[in-house]
Structure 1
Amino acid sequence: LETDFGLRVTYDWNWHLLIDLPSSYYKHTCGLCGNFNLKPEDDVPESGSDLAAVVAWAKGWKAPDDDDPFCWDYCEGTCPVCEEEKKELYGGNQYCGLIKKSFQGPFKACHDVVKPRDFYRNCLYDVCMSDGAKKILCQALEAYASTCKKHGAIVHDWRTPSGCRPVCPPNQHYELCGPACPATCRGQAEAEECEEAAFCTEGCFCDEGFLLSGDRCVPLAQCGCLHEGRYYKMGEEFFTCPRCSERCTCKEAGVVECRPEGCAAGEGCTVQNGVRGCYPHECGRCQVLGAVSYSTFDGHPLHFAGTCTYTLAAVEATGPEDTLVPFTVEVEKESGEEGPLIRQLLVTVHGVTVGMARGTQWEVDGERHLLPLSLAGGAVTASQEGTHRVLRAQGGLKLLYDGSAYALLTLPASHRRRTRGLCGNFDGDAGNDLAAPQELGDAWGTLTTTCTHGSPPPPCPAAPPGPCEVLAEATGPFAGCHGVVAPQEHVAGCRREQCGRPGAGALCRSLQGYAAACQAAGGRLREWRAAAECPLSCPPNSHYELCTSTCDRTCAGLLASTQCTDKCFEGCQCDEGFLFNGDECVPMDSCGC
């Protein structure tokens, strides 16, 4: 981002932010970046000041309208420190030491141009606080490499010795020194006129014969349209006026066709993620709420005791211009002592099939794998988030599974009226979702000699308030969830699961399901397991935490960058010095290759 008065803001879409200002702003700035008086010693409290003074100084620059209830200034509990033995480990040449390595170091030529001291210190602290997570290390090294190249310094291969090998999307390849302004579908002229064209940058670049179209590389024939100064991908639909009264489509050869069309019932004309369009008030959420309880995208409750394999949701491609990614999500059920159990969830998307088995096992195209996963060139990722497993796919599909009885499938609004399966057609009308067990089984299941579509669950007699009501208590441990996930649906599902199956097992599974939905939506969950007598059994060398950091604290996470959610999930956290290796916590030096 550049302005006509000399301000330049560079952001890597992750965590590295660089602000450049002309000298005319000397002594005229304030904020966390200091006063620009060339005296770094007065930017922050003196180094000998206690932590409270530093926190108070930083808090003074908090945005006045920041009322996020999940944001805080102080450490929760004792602030962590980096121990000396960890400083020695992470300061070595396999970690942050690469930044300041002078003899045959990849950044040696940059040291006189961009001093490595601050980048090294920041890298050491961040990597130490994340227990050596490869993702954090790669981000820190990439930040220094990017800054060096912006200043014209030569940077040699740093990804091989650090193990930070990038995964490029289809039709792209990695270059250590590629064009800072690559050719796009908007035209080669813009790339040549770019002020940064004289410099190079590293990253993923389009293969020969392909051009950048948004975030994808496509052949020239698949380039989109330029309409009123904005670029749109081929096949993309967009609205041109603030009231969404005219819908336009980018066709072949850069032709834009427009037609009068407004928003449908239940939709509003708003801007989401920078794009104006007709959006439903909520995204699609389909849930498996236990042994026999489901909730469709449109909120219709289903009670279905089938034990076969069923299609939860699927989208089929309608033609070459279809922008939706086709997928299928299936739930494979089996009989258990307390009713049907989830044996595994199967997701087929982007040419791979991922199996999420009950417990902690994962399979990709029939072969067992450990988390985290990055498949189909990064188009499909899977990670462990607390006790839960999360699969994401380009196109918007997201599936959360707690490894037991709860699953949450989320789809963006672009999938409205396109889905089929137990989850319904996502058209905003709960009345047209199938409900009869035989209809559901015949439509979306495969009957075999070892399974049954089940009979309708018996009606539950009216009962006085019971243990399920804790989900809706205004002052209970789930109260911080009510603003993001209404509890009524989960209370009803909990009661249904309790009907005919009284006991702690069904109750705990229902409460854990609501806890998962709450934290996935960003709610603030309080400790609930002790009072409900639902302890979580953790493997040796680990312990339970209400807010864990398990996603990139795995043995595999040391070797490859991991895409993690920004949400907080409860679960088992490996003790300090240990990392998850499958379903067990092992010392860091016991991790494999």
Structure 2
Amino acid sequence: MNTASEQARDCNAAGMRSPVSAATSMRSTVECGSRSGLLVMRRLRSTLERGIRAIRTAAPPLAQALFKSVREATWRSEKCVPPMVFANCSTSNTGAECAKSCQTLDMHCYSTRCISGCVCPPGLVSNEKGGCIPEDQCPCFHNTAAYKSGDQIQLRCNTCTCNKRKWECSTRTCPATCLIYGNGHYITFDGKRYIFNGECQYTLSQDHCSLSNSNSTFKIITQNVPCGNMGATCSKSIKVFLEDYELILVDDHLNLAHRGSDSEVPYRVRLMGIYLVIETKKGLLLFWDKKSSIFIKVTSEYKGKICGLCGTYDGNRNNDFTSRNNAVVANTEEFGNSWKLSPTCADAKVYRDACSLNPYRNAWAHRQCSIINNEIFSTCHPHVDPSRYYQACVLDTCACNTGGDCECFCTAVAAYAQACAEYNYCVAWRSPTICPLFCDYYNSLNGEDCVWHYRPCGAPCMKTCRNPKGECQYEIRGLEGCYPQCPKDKPYFDEDDMKCVAVCGCYDMDRKHYPIGSIVPCKDNCYVWNRPPPQPDGSSVTRLPTACRCPGPRPFLIQCCPGRAPPPSYCSTFPPPAAPPPLPLPPPPCHRLLCLLSPLC
């Protein structure tokens, strides 16, 4: 009987023959491999496969048979790890080529040839870790990440829960978003992208679009000015008309240009990171980064009812270029020019590629903007296409040639980061050398109040002096910027003084802030009803000739009420004192001042 070494030499000699001889002696070779063991078989397999490749063109059936015999001989020499079993193509038409795993359960398999191998027994599937589990124990998958049953993820405004390998998601209709950023980049509510560089005031969006209808409840206007000398323009101020209120956003500030007659202000202003947020009670939100980016969100109640540079919001981006005359046009400049407010403004011209006009900045712009395509944003790439944002970044970085280079670049990257945040992918892309935000500026010099930090994903609704209960009508996610972590003894964030406080001041009807103890101007002469010190009738009266005073560390709703002749008028607190001065007739509507001094307010 031959020894194992002799058998190995015989097998190697058989493998070194010509390809045709090797094919002819296939059966004897396989038997030799079985006797000499797995090690020799693996050596022979590589030799045979080289020979098979040489004869594949001349004799494909022979090559396929040889592959199958060698593969099956190798599988027979290896044991499947329980509970896996061996699927043999010699006894069945189905092998391991269509074996089900947790990731392929819902996929149909098209088999071109049988492949023998280890598979899970019926009723079980592979868990991708070498084991077998029941189907209902498989995890859910989202972007290649696995989630076990009961886990939740957020997809825009909807929550999805993993249940027996299936996602069960809420069906809320998410607000639509219009984005204007950088040098004339627009993305409409329905997702149409275009570049428009006009130097004038333009209507971004409004409702009640009929030419004969003047009952618009909101209108948003942008003032576009040149950015650089390449013909690009960007938004530098925003006008917001809400019913009969007019707000102007310019130079990092919100100014009230005109207040309405309604005693209840139809909007709320919040500071969230780098953004100033205006939210209304009727489903309109505006986010302004205090530079050149504006996000406008509207709820579904405005669907099909709005118009302007942000489009029609009817689910059809093909008619987003609807002009002021209600005609659908194909040309970007014709569409944009139709929405300018002043006919004396020059019409916008066709956009010129700034990188071709500034070739010396082209390479630098591509290098800077490559961060959008880099690994740092890789988790977002499958959900938000980076190519269009990258192109916009390069164009803007080339165009900003009169200063503000970094602002143009940073605005473009921040726009992509915010688009990723819409899908719950917050990316910490800023660094000390790339568009830094110096949040430490707001911390105290002695380090005792180190409460400010940069948050790329924003923060939940906070308790602020303008919102002492910390209740927000709309859930807003992913607004990056500097946020404070207020301590328990100073639970309220004062957005005007940018610090955490224990007691807030007062706000008048125009939302103007007054520190505690300051004089709040009123339209008429007033009395102020304060609690301390008590009078015999349980109240205390302070007469001020021309103003009302914030009444101290208690929640009060001060009402400055115009009196009837003869004067004086009076101001009362809420809750009221024991008894205000008797009046023969009910007082007219009051000009109210809201003093926010505790969560009870």
Q: TM-score under structure 1 normalisation?
A: 0.45
Higher relative contact order (CA 8 A, sep 6+): 1
Q: TM-score under structure 2 normalisation?
A: 0.44
- Which structure's CA Rg is the greater one? 2
